[in-house]
Chain A
Amino acid sequence: METDIKDQLVSVEKPALTAPPDWEPVIIGILCNWCSYAGSDLTGTSRIQYPPNIRIIRVPCSSRVDPWFLIKSLQTTADGVLVSGCHPGDCHYISGNYYARRRFLVTKKLLNFVGFHENRVQFSWVSAAEGPKFAKVVAKVTDDIKKLGPLHLYKKENFAKK
Chain B
Amino acid sequence: MNHTKEIQDITARLFAEGRIDVFVGYRMTGFDDNQVPVLITDPGDVSSLVFTSGSVFNLVNYLKTEHIRRKRVGIVVKGCDSRSLNLLLTEGQVKRDSLYIIGICCEGVTDEDGRKMQNCTECVVPDAVVYDELLGSPTPSGSPTPSGSIPYKVNADISELSVKPLAERAAYFEEIFEACIRCNACRHSCPLCYCAKCCIDQETPTLYNGANTTSAAFHALMTWSLHLAGRCVDCRNCEKACPSHLPLHLLHKQNESVIYENFQEHLAGVIADDRGAFYKYSLKDPDDFIM
Contact = CB atoms under 8 A, between A and B. Distances in A.
A and B are interacting partners: yes
Interface of A: 67-68, 71-72, 75, 88, 95, 98-99, 101-117, 122-125, 137, 140, 153-158
Contacts of B290: 101, 104, 123-125
A153 B291 contact: no
Interface residues of B, number: 45
A99 B174 contact: no
25 contacts: A68-B223, A71-B222, A72-B207, A75-B215, A98-B281, A98-B285, A102-B263, A102-B278, A102-B281, A105-B285, A105-B289, A108-B289, A110-B255, A114-B169, A114-B218, A115-B166, A115-B167, A115-B171, A117-B166, A137-B291, A154-B177, A154-B218, A156-B214, A157-B215, A157-B216
For the complex of A and B, 10 pairs with smallest distance between CB atoms: A115-B170, A98-B281, A124-B291, A114-B173, A154-B215, A123-B290, A68-B223, A67-B226, A109-B258, A115-B169
Contacts of A106: 226, 229-230, 255, 258-259, 278
A71 B215 contact: no
Contacts of A105: 258, 262, 285-286, 289
Given A71-B222, A110-B254, A157 B213 contact: yes
A117 B203 CA distance: 32
B135 interface: no
Secondary structure dominating the interface of B:
helix
B278 A140 contact: no
Nearest to A158: B215
Contacts of B171: 115
Interface in B225-240: 225-226, 229-230
Contact of B162 (A102, A113, A116, A140): A113
A125 B289 CA distance: 11
Interface string B249-274: 01100110011001100000000000
Interface of B: 161-162, 166-167, 169-174, 177, 207-208, 211, 213-216, 218-219, 222-223, 225-226, 229-230, 250-251, 254-255, 258-259, 262-263, 277-278, 281-283, 285-287, 289-291
Contacts of A113: 161-162, 169, 250-251, 254
A113 B184 CA distance: 22
B215 to A, nearest CB: 4
B226 A107 contact: yes
